[in-house]
Chain A
Amino acid sequence: MKHILLKMTGLAIVAIAFNGCNKDLNRLPPNTVNVNQVYSTPEGYTQAMAKVYGAFALTSSNGPAQSDVQGVDAGTSDFLRLLWVAQELTTDEGINAWNDPGLPDFHNMDWASSNPILLGLYTRSIYQITVCNDFIRNSSDATLASKKFGASDLTNIKYYRAEARFLRAFQYWVLMDEFANPPFVTDSTAVGTIPKQIDRKDLFKYIESELISCSANMAPPKTNQYGRADQAAAWALLARLYLNAEVYTGTPRYTDAITYAEKVINSGYSLDPSYQDLFLADNNLNNPEVILPIQYDGNNTQTYGGTTFIINGEVDAGMNPALFGVPSGGWGGNRATSAFGALFPSLDTTIDKRAIFYGTESKIIDVGNFDQGLHAVKFKNITSTGATPPGGGTFCSTDFPLFRLAEQYLIYAEAVLRGGTGGDINTAVGYINLLRERAYGNTSGNITASDLTLPFILDERGRELWWECFRRTDLIRFGEFTGSNYLWPWKGGISNGTGVSSQYNIFPIPLSDIQANPQLDQNPGY
């Protein structure tokens, strides 16, 4: 009996010792923190804000081969590369030689809802929205009141919060423009909730009200740090939103477009004297024209997308990549069609300095042959003094202008032509001639009021803003994207171009999300 008692005691001790081990099942990931730790200091807020912006510059927080979003090749999953493909390769401005999954669909204009690049763009935009939401949730007045931060830190964090709202509105604008009716989540939606779909018209109203509301809390124009949005950025997006309002809602808002374009124009920005300098590696320094860029750095902000994609994609080994600041790069993919070249008086910079092309143009017989086509080389990874910034010879340091003054001039002019009130045609001609004088180096390219027509505006937007992610939206607004009004080489996958169905004015909601989210309805035609 004694033995048995002893044994039972022994077993009990063993059992208790074992139970103590159960806390070992709470293993925490190394080198991570929780939400309270992140938002405990002003520096923590700044680092969280860095991700709010970084979400549209980089593919991930773990280097250029990883991604925040899935379903698309990680290296190609940054915002600009995806947006660029959707906005440029669908148009006369761009055609790509590669066979990447889903990529040829863009110039063929036959994408389906399973297209991985569209999935990438959609999820990238929504990803940045969820990161914005997280920041906004954790920087509410109530939350901030509980922290003992100094006054200047509090002011800065409130600017951050307004900028996060701006970036969220910007991404909703992208989703509205590309996919029309995306799922909708805000800071009041809990993580894990299945989002509801929002109608394009309702989304328009939301974006409009958010921009008006957040702009009141943003830093005044030209007072914020380079790379951060200020009031002018919000106004610039409002102007762009109103210019396209008829496409989005059926109701024109050209007067509002003029109002906000004018607000931006009067905010103290001026044209960079050199058009080419806007697209070089030192465009972050003393840039008078850019309102909000996406920033890249060959050493610190590395991605295979962004301007690294645009610059490496436009050159190949045969073009001596070192001349473009990518001595180890040159992927030979993107060039323009002859239809786009035809917008310029000549295919070199002797007349119009915006015609930054390379070599001689040849007809594209084989889409896969990069040698054929019009080689366009506006973006470069060299500085205005010809130096190559550090970065290994592939990663670029050139910032991408998301909003710049020239666009606002063009919005103003177009809105006036389309019947908006509050502006006048002579001011519009003056704004356009500012662009023309920079392009021609003198007044020889200037126009008069009679030259200022809508077709001229579309062409001028092409000349001024090419490869800056405007072309698809512009062609849609002018009714020349789908249908047969305007044919360019390889439109619809045919050498001479062919008309395509109007369903392609809106991209499909990606199939994987239709399947994951039962609340979503597909766009018409897909």
Chain B
Amino acid sequence: MRKKISKISRHAGAFLFFVLVAFGANAQNRTITGTVISQDGRLLSGASIIIVGQKVGVTTDADGKFSISVPENAKQLQVSFVGYQMQKVNISSTSNVTVVLVSSVQALSDVVIIGYGTVQKKDITGSVSTISTKDFQKGIVTTPEQLITGKISGVSITSKGGAPGSGSVIRIRGGASLTASNNPLIVIDGMPLADGVNGDGGTTPLSGTANPLNLINPDDIESFTILKDAAATAIYGSRASNGVILITTKHGKKGKPRLNFTTQFGVSKLPKEYPVLSAAQFRNYVNTNGTPAQIALLGNANTDWQKEIYHTALTTDNNLSLSGSLQNIPYRISGEYMNQQGILKTDDLKRFSGGLNVSPSLFKNSLKVELNLHGTITNTRFANQDAKGNAITFDPTQPVTVAGSKFGGYYEWLGANDSTLNNNSNRNPVAMLEQKNDRSKVQRSFGNIKLDYAIPYVSGLHANLNLGYDIAKGSGSTLIPVDAAQSYNNSIDSLRGYNNEYQQKYINTTGEFFLGYNKDITSIKSNINAVAGYGYYDYLTKNYNSTQRSATKAIRTDIANNPPLFYYNPNEYTLISYYGRLIYTFNDKYILMGSLRTDGSSRFSPATRWGTFASGAFTWRIKQEDFLKNSSTVNQLNLRLSYGQTGNQSGIGLYGYIPTYFLSTPGSLYPFGNTFYNMYTPSAYISNLKWETTDTYDGGFDYGFLDNRINGSIDYYYKKTKDLLANVSIPAGSNFSNKETTNIGNMTDQGIDFNVNLIPVRTKDWDWEIGFNSSYNKFKITNLTLVPDPNFIGNTTGGISGGTGNTVQIDAVGSAPNTFYLYQQIYNANGMPIEGLYVDQNRDGIINQNDLVKNKSPFPSWTLGFSNSVSYLKWSLNFVLRANFDNYMYNNTASSLAVTRSILNPNKYLENAPSSVLKSSFSNNQYFSNYYLENASFLRMDNIGLNYDYGSISKNHKYDLAISLHCQNVFVITKYTGVDPEIFSGIDNNFYPRPRTFTLGLNLSL
């Protein structure tokens, strides 16, 4: 934002103010009274009214009323309120006015936060999207990123399942990496979060949390800003290749204290059971096809195991916040209590969180201070996830409990002599849930203090200091009783059950110092906005390796590294950065931007650890040209062109370049004579590892037509990543491993992001807003070998359940990452698959790996999001629809379970199977058949809700009440036959069904 107030004018203004206050009382005055209401008839409290041409003003009271004393000669009042277009009203001939303010679509986003500063929306040079509170997904949202699901073009957010607090896979324009991390950098109030906390450099969250973002109270979030292209992200250098998400928390606003209370109560249900054989069908199948021994195993019960493990789950989420200003210091204090049950029994998440924002301005506004503090405690009980699969496969003719069972009363399959547990069989799913008590407690605190000091005598120069911390501790325990079949040892009591504790901590620190300079040079119609700074980021994780104990507290000798060799594993990585950016604007028409960042990472050797990333962009504000300047149709039209380089180092090991030896862990010892020795083991190392580098080209338009009632943007991008960190085969014998993370690959990624916001109807009573976004994305791997090799098939990936080490996907040159790699099924005349018969692609007479075919990707080529909000007086109705096209899914549930041989199991037990077994009639698993590859395109209604804004419930005070009713995960339309068509990996296995949730919400604001 450009500041035009020079020191002199500031002093002059202050002088004028004092003069007016001092002498105003003596002048000839009259009183104007009035009411300020919104378009939809709400009384607006806290709107500011000033006399045009003067600095004096008042604000409206709780009933939207004001009274102001104006000089005789005053002609106009200026009325403004956050979120509404400012309006001037004539007062020369009246003393009572009613002002109707029109909500401004863009009011909140007029100023856009970019890295290390802000710009006005009209001046943006990069591809940036902002979304704030009013456009968030509604209903019960317990993890922040789900607030913006389907709302922003080019941003895909796929929840990992329906478990309480479960995280999401977030991809901005698909990501830029193959095997390193594709997660965007997340920056909260200027503080970058760590990507994962473990030494492997992966994205593993803290023990005991499902996802690092779920420790942030969604209600504390004001807005998300998504930086998509390199022009926007390059200032974040080595962590920017996958895009950047800037989260801004709510801050206090000047004015009277305002108390806001929100409570939501939700009821969640399993949308539909996975179709399996009923007890009758199962009994019939075994009686018809089984051996006498197998028929004898049938029970007399009729158990619907899915009904036994899923239940109707209740959720309550309560938020209380107080904001206002105290002696001119804006503040906001918030607290939350949330309790979410999972639809899978014994899944439960409780969260307590508190937040504090204080933003005083000191020394005559020359020092702006912003303090953000957040604290969260979560208590979670994790259900045994394996129960889901076992509910599909457990014999429906057996009861849940049986008299005389030594396994806690639960029915379990017995072994050879009917007294031991059957080692090969599956386990009673209800027992798996009820007999495992896995609890965790995570405490996290994060926050930062930002100082912005206007350096005296140099107008427009600011020094900024940002110091932040993020500390968390997770601990928990797992208890499985001695008689639980899920951890049972037939012969040794001391190896039964678990009584374990675990703990992990991390300490992340951020220190940034930068100088910002913003200056209008009117003489040459120019503006300069420059930033130069330094950043230090340190991420320390401490893993405590605890001893694994049995239910009776004996050391579990059957578990590796137990008791652990080292009780404590600190892993640390550090980034140091120097960065600068210059935005030059000429004549408010042409904007040029250039940025440069140099990053050093402790993950690389001194010779390769520094990387420099540059970007450049040009924006042409076409609207400012003479031929459009006076157009009332076109409100905004910007052409943006940008190029930039960004890096990625996330998701690879922290110490990959260092040659080291480590001692083998207990359980991995080798004896000489009678002594067992811990083995000194050399680690493989690649001394010349370096950054992945992505070049991004972006071209786009930002547009606004017809009073901005049609606005949005469209972008085309092309990304090219080189030196991809891929875990690839290295020549055997050249190192202490045959596969290492090496800078080897190239990949391209191109696509189109389009979004439009429409306001088809806007009247005093009616308001209808539509948001539509659409993204197209296409990946292609272009190289995966040191020397280009046309015969190189690729690296298989996409491990499945079933067998040992089976994979169904491949990263191959010429295809998208994770392309499915399967045999082509042959079908009979009736269209039924013929078991084990595949197309012999190379016609060599045998079916082997050489006949696998690369085809289809798990990632959609098109995604669409459609948000609708209609309001009539106090009522509003909104819904969000989302669709993915051309995404394929491997139905692993069917491929691993829907075979007749598991029903008629040779190992002295029976197993149920999905109903689809009757269709395929496969007797043995055909894991690599493309019969299991299905088109998983879908249309989903995420959310539909009705809101009633009662308005004030008190005559004398502004006590506002709003009531809402929402349904989430309303319906899914898809051809896919498995549990859910929306699973990021494209492999559907043991997926936690997304529940359908009905929520009643109440908001009271005092």
Q: Which of B99-107, B443-451, B900-908 has 4 or more CB atoms under 8 Å from chain A?
A: B900-908
Chain B residues, CB < 8 A from A108? 846
Chain A residues, CB < 8 A from B492? 327, 390, 392-393
Verify if A28 is at the interface (C-beta below 8 Å from B): yes
Q: How far is the CB of B88 from chain A (nearest CB, A)?
A: 43
A391 to B556, CA, bound (A): 9
Chain A residues, CB < 8 A from B732? 122-123, 126-127, 183, 195, 510, 513, 516-517
Is A25 touching B660 in the complex (CB atoms < 8 A)?
no
Q: Contact string, B594-616, partner A, CB cutoff 8 A, digits 1/0?
A: 00000011100010010000000
Q: How far is the CB of B555 from chain A (nearest CB, A)?
A: 10
Verify if A98 is at the interface (C-beta below 8 Å from B): yes
Is B654 touching A27 in the complex (CB atoms < 8 A)?
yes
Is A328 touching B491 in the complex (CB atoms < 8 A)?
yes
Residue of B558, B669, B678, B731 with highest tally of chain A CB at under 10 A: B731
Verify if A50 is at the interface (C-beta below 8 Å from B): yes
Is B574 touching A390 in the complex (CB atoms < 8 A)?
no
Is B848 touching A112 in the complex (CB atoms < 8 A)?
yes
Contacting B803 at CB < 8 Å: which of A98, A321, A328?
Answer: A98
Q: How far is the CB of A123 from chain B (nearest CB, A)?
A: 4
Verify if B997 is at the interface (C-beta below 8 Å from A): no
Q: Contact string, A61-89, partner B, CB cutoff 8 A, digits 1/0?
A: 11111101111110110000000000000
A295 to B908, CA, bound (A): 33
Chain B residues, CB < 8 A from A245? none
Q: How far is the CB of A218 from chain B (nearest CB, A)?
A: 15
A318 to B673, CA, bound (A): 37
Is B792 touching A515 in the complex (CB atoms < 8 A)?
yes
Chain B residues, CB < 8 A from A331? 424
Minimal Cβ-Cβ distance residue in B for A59 = B668
Is A61 touching B907 in the complex (CB atoms < 8 A)?
no
Chain A residues, CB < 8 A from B671? 227, 295, 297, 300-301
Given contact pairs A71-B738, A369-B906, A300 touches B731 in the complex (Cβ within 8 A) = no
Minimal Cβ-Cβ distance residue in A for B558 = A392
Verify if A111 is at the interface (C-beta below 8 Å from B): yes
Chain A residues, CB < 8 A from B666? 300
Interfacial residues of chain B within 640-680, with CB under 8 A of chain A in the complex: 654-655, 658-673, 676-680
* Contact-residue size bin, chain B (C-beta under 8 Å from the other chain): 35 or more
Q: Contact string, B846-874, partner A, CB cutoff 8 A, digits 1/0?
A: 10111000000000000000000000000
Is A130 touching B670 in the complex (CB atoms < 8 A)?
no
Q: How far is the CB of B679 from chain A (nearest CB, A)?
A: 4
Minimal Cβ-Cβ distance residue in A for B806 = A101
Interfacial residues of chain B within 28-61, with CB under 8 A of chain A in the complex: none
Chain B residues, CB < 8 A from A73? 804-805
A238 to B845, CA, bound (A): 41
A331 to B803, CA, bound (A): 12
Is B682 touching A115 in the complex (CB atoms < 8 A)?
no
Is A26 touching B731 in the complex (CB atoms < 8 A)?
no
Verify if A216 is at the interface (C-beta below 8 Å from B): no
Verify if A471 is at the interface (C-beta below 8 Å from B): no
Chain B residues, CB < 8 A from A48? 661, 679-680
Chain B residues, CB < 8 A from A54? 664, 668-670, 679
Q: How far is the CB of A286 from chain B (nearest CB, A)?
A: 13
Verify if A134 is at the interface (C-beta below 8 Å from B): yes
Residue of A14, A31, A75 with highest tally of chain B CB at under 10 A: A31
A254 to B420, CA, bound (A): 54
Is A47 touching B679 in the complex (CB atoms < 8 A)?
yes
- Size of the A side of the interface (Cβ < 8 Å), in residues, is 122
Chain A residues, CB < 8 A from B491? 322, 327-328, 388, 393
Is B733 touching A327 in the complex (CB atoms < 8 A)?
no
Interfacial residues of chain A within 394-439, with CB under 8 A of chain B in the complex: 394-395
Given contact pairs A317-B422, A330-B423, A295 touches B489 in the complex (Cβ within 8 A) = no
A192 to B685, CA, bound (A): 9
A37 to B659, CA, bound (A): 12
Chain B residues, CB < 8 A from A50? 664, 669-670, 672, 677-680
Q: Which of B311-319, B565-573, B967-975 has 4 or more CB atoms under 8 Å from chain A?
A: B565-573
Given contact pairs A29-B658, A71-B729, A116-B805, A46 touches B677 in the complex (Cβ within 8 A) = yes
Given contact pairs A25-B576, A51-B680, A300-B669, A114 touches B849 in the complex (Cβ within 8 A) = yes
Is A392 touching B495 in the complex (CB atoms < 8 A)?
yes
Q: How far is the CB of B739 from chain A (nearest CB, A)?
A: 3
A321 to B908, CA, bound (A): 13
Chain A residues, CB < 8 A from B680? 33, 38, 44, 47-48, 50-51
Verify if B416 is at the interface (C-beta below 8 Å from A): yes
Q: Which of B205-213, B690-698, B783-791, B956-964 has 4 or more CB atoms under 8 Å from chain A?
A: B783-791
A184 to B793, CA, bound (A): 25
> Do most interface residues of chain A lie in helix, strand or loop, or is the interface mixed?
loop
Is A195 touching B734 in the complex (CB atoms < 8 A)?
yes
Given contact pairs A392-B495, A515-B785, A22 touches B416 in the complex (Cβ within 8 A) = no
Verify if B776 is at the interface (C-beta below 8 Å from A): no
Given contact pairs A183-B732, A195-B733, A318 touches B416 in the complex (Cβ within 8 A) = yes
Is A112 touching B739 in the complex (CB atoms < 8 A)?
no
Q: How far is the CB of A477 from chain B (nearest CB, A)?
A: 26
Interfacial residues of chain B within 163-199, with CB under 8 A of chain A in the complex: 199
Residue of B558, B732, B737 with highest tally of chain A CB at under 10 A: B732
Residue of B663, B787, B804 with highest tally of chain A CB at under 10 A: B804
Contacting B901 at CB < 8 Å: which of A18, A28, A110, A368?
Answer: A368
Is B804 touching A327 in the complex (CB atoms < 8 A)?
no
Is B924 touching A368 in the complex (CB atoms < 8 A)?
yes
Chain A residues, CB < 8 A from B569? 30-31
Q: How far is the CB of B840 from chain A (nearest CB, A)?
A: 12
Interfacial residues of chain A within 90-132, with CB under 8 A of chain B in the complex: 98-102, 105, 108, 110-112, 114-116, 122-123, 126-127, 129-131
Is B668 touching A60 in the complex (CB atoms < 8 A)?
yes
Contacting A62 at CB < 8 Å: which of B606, B668, B677, B924?
Answer: B668
Is A111 touching B661 in the complex (CB atoms < 8 A)?
no
Is B806 touching A58 in the complex (CB atoms < 8 A)?
no
Is A3 touching B457 in the complex (CB atoms < 8 A)?
yes
Minimal Cβ-Cβ distance residue in A for B807 = A101
Contacting B557 at CB < 8 Å: which of A58, A391, A512?
Answer: A391
Verify if B86 is at the interface (C-beta below 8 Å from A): no
Verify if A343 is at the interface (C-beta below 8 Å from B): no
Minimal Cβ-Cβ distance residue in B for A184 = B733
Minimal Cβ-Cβ distance residue in B for A368 = B924
A318 to B906, CA, bound (A): 8
Verify if B730 is at the interface (C-beta below 8 Å from A): yes
Chain B residues, CB < 8 A from A371? 906
Is B557 touching A392 in the complex (CB atoms < 8 A)?
yes
Minimal Cβ-Cβ distance residue in A for B928 = A101
Given contact pairs A25-B600, A27-B573, A116-B805, A105 touches B848 in the complex (Cβ within 8 A) = yes
Chain A residues, CB < 8 A from B669? 50, 54, 297, 300-301
Chain B residues, CB < 8 A from A228? 672
Is B679 touching A391 in the complex (CB atoms < 8 A)?
no
Q: Which residues of A contact B (CB under 8 A)?
A: 3, 7, 14-15, 18, 21-22, 24-35, 37-38, 44, 46-51, 53-54, 57-58, 60-66, 68-73, 75-76, 98-102, 105, 108, 110-112, 114-116, 122-123, 126-127, 129-131, 134, 183-185, 189, 191-195, 225-228, 295, 297-302, 316-322, 327-332, 366, 368-371, 388, 390-395, 510-513, 515-519
Given contacts A112-B848, A123-B732, 18 further A-B contacts (CB under 8 A): A30-B566, A63-B665, A64-B668, A69-B737, A101-B806, A131-B682, A185-B733, A185-B734, A194-B734, A297-B676, A302-B667, A302-B668, A317-B424, A366-B924, A368-B924, A393-B490, A512-B729, A517-B731
28 CB < 8 A contacts A-B: A15-B534, A24-B538, A29-B658, A33-B680, A46-B672, A47-B680, A51-B679, A54-B668, A64-B668, A69-B737, A70-B727, A102-B849, A111-B848, A130-B735, A134-B736, A183-B732, A301-B670, A302-B558, A318-B907, A322-B491, A327-B420, A332-B424, A369-B906, A393-B492, A393-B495, A512-B729, A516-B732, A517-B732
Going nearest first, the 4 A-B pairs with the smallest beta carbon separation are: A63-B560, A392-B558, A73-B805, A61-B664
